[in-house]
Amino acid sequence: MTNNETAQLLHYKHLYINGEWVEPEDGGMLDSIDPATGKPWAIVAYGGKRDIDKAVAAARSALDGPWGKMPGHERAELLRKLADIYKRRAPELARLESRDSGRALRETIPDINAHSNWYMWYASLCDKIWGRTIPMDDSVHIYTSRLPVGVVGAITPWNAPMLTTAWKLGPALAAGCTVILKPAELTPVTAIVLASMIEEAGFPAGVVNVVPGYGQNGAGQYLTEHPGVDKIAFTGEGKTARTILKAGADSLKKFSFELGGKAPHIIFADANLDSAINAATSSAWAVCGQSCALGSRVLVEKTIYDQVVDAFIKRQTQVRIGMPLNERTHMGPQASAEQLAKTMSYIESGRQEGADLVAGGSQPKSQELADGFFIEPTVFASANNNMRIAREEIFGPVAALIPFEGEEEAIHIANDTTYGLTAGLWSQDIGKAHRVAAKIRAGMVWVNTYRYIRWTTPYGGFKASGWGRENGIEALDSYLETRTTVVSTTAQFQNPYND
């Protein structure tokens, strides 16, 4: 890069540790690549081991100091302030996230506009964290108290950086924990901007620290190994989770894992077909296919299979691929060259395994998009559940349309997967809808809708899709410990050795 080109990049030169903007001690500067152009657009500071040490020490002293002593209603006030600031700055965050991740602005705007609800709702829970009394007999008085787990390392992925942050930060702060946030190295910018909101809201120093960095052999690994971190809240790939689990084993941390998915999206012949097609196409291709919740296995009842394939092909031609910041763009690029190559290799495997590529499968021809990581929305017909495109998480806009016959087969195919994060089903027969929903092994089942996720709705996976739940009361619980206190009402304790 020439000096002139470097000067045009946005510079984020500091980490946010202990309420201060500091230069990395043993990290450095990384280029954040704009996936629409393949070129750097920002230079961002990243942390090393000493920076993580500093951040953990700051988080610990905030926990032992002002934050740990702050009553719930005051924590609530700070979270509400953060929610207000977040709402005001959501348009700026949406543009930055589109630039950093490549996700189209028409997706990031509504998504990020909604995030303040997470902070606001968890604010409302801060002063409602209490235990219970447990009746036994009149010789004891027993009660439980709920306490923050402690220092939390929050490690987030690149596909929805601000959403996955809100899912962790909201409940962690409501519970009274302190946090070190480590965003993905591909998309670090919005987390740094969030740190400026934390500062503006007036949280005490050290309550939230933001240290961008690498995963393996970087800030992520140091956080997971650090004996001063009590819990790792992680969203990302299953294989990373396994590495993290081993790294955290020595210090026996708590973990929550939000991992991948390979959701079945079942369309029965008696569905409201227009809505089912709208949901199935958009939820196969949203975020350029890079979301854990997407329905990439579309299971279609045989009697309507050809009709659904035709509808997918037609809809595919309506998707406008383009620059993420253009408000007309439906689909931006994949987030990285690596992700694009991975998607292309799955498309090749689909072809080789005998699925019928009926739409997409290539990079768009437009000259404007030539340097970016763009890919057409893709449809495979005649797919079956043994193919790699149906078994493995592609994280690209690739729909595998799989025919089935009857309720039992739909349930069998839906559950024939190592994942269990989300699932969707479409039927106007209410009895059947409930029967099938009850048999699906997934943490979230949508009936006659798809991707409905709110701050109140617990979200997380069965099987290889994760441990624990984000959102709702369940997420708050995961940042709390329970202490049981037993008080004798007589203060008498017999000597067991005097016989």
Residues at the contact surface with ligand NAD, assessed by CB under 6 A: 155-160, 164, 182, 184-185, 214-216, 220-221, 224, 235-237, 240, 243-244, 258-261, 292, 393, 395, 421, 466
Instruction: State the nearest-atom distance from the C-beta of 376 to ligand NAD, in Å.
Output: 21
The smaller minimum CB distance to ligand NAD, of residues 240 and 427, is found at 240
Instruction: State the nearest-atom distance from the C-beta of 259 to ligand NAD, in Å.
Output: 5
Residue nearest to ligand NAD according to CB distances in the complex: 215
In terms of Cα–Cα distance, which of 452, 359, 60, 364 is closest to 226? 60
Phi, psi (degrees; rounded to nearest 5) at 268: -85, 160
The smaller minimum CB distance to ligand NAD, of residues 111 and 301, is found at 111
Contact of 211 with 18, CB cutoff 8 Å? no
Instruction: State the nearest-atom distance from the C-beta of 278 to ligand NAD, in Å.
Output: 23
Instruction: State the nearest-atom distance from the C-beta of 68 to ligand NAD, in Å.
Output: 26
Among residues 107, 225, 292, 470, which one is catalytic? 292
Which residues lie across from 445 on neighbouring strands?
Answer: 423
Instruction: State the nearest-atom distance from the C-beta of 48 to ligand NAD, in Å.
Output: 14
Among residues 97, 225, 258, 376, which one is catalytic? 258
The smaller minimum CB distance to ligand NAD, of residues 86 and 459, is found at 459
Which tokens go with 441?
């092994």
The smaller minimum CB distance to ligand NAD, of residues 101 and 281, is found at 101
Instruction: State the nearest-atom distance from the C-beta of 400 to ligand NAD, in Å.
Output: 16
The smaller minimum CB distance to ligand NAD, of residues 159 and 283, is found at 159
The verdict on whether 288 is a catalytic residue reads no
The smaller minimum CB distance to ligand NAD, of residues 156 and 427, is found at 156
Contact of 456 with 148, CB cutoff 8 Å? no
The verdict on whether 292 is a catalytic residue reads yes
Burial of residue 71 (CB within 10 Å: 0-12, 13-18, 19+) is exposed
Q: Which residues are catalytic?
A: 258, 292
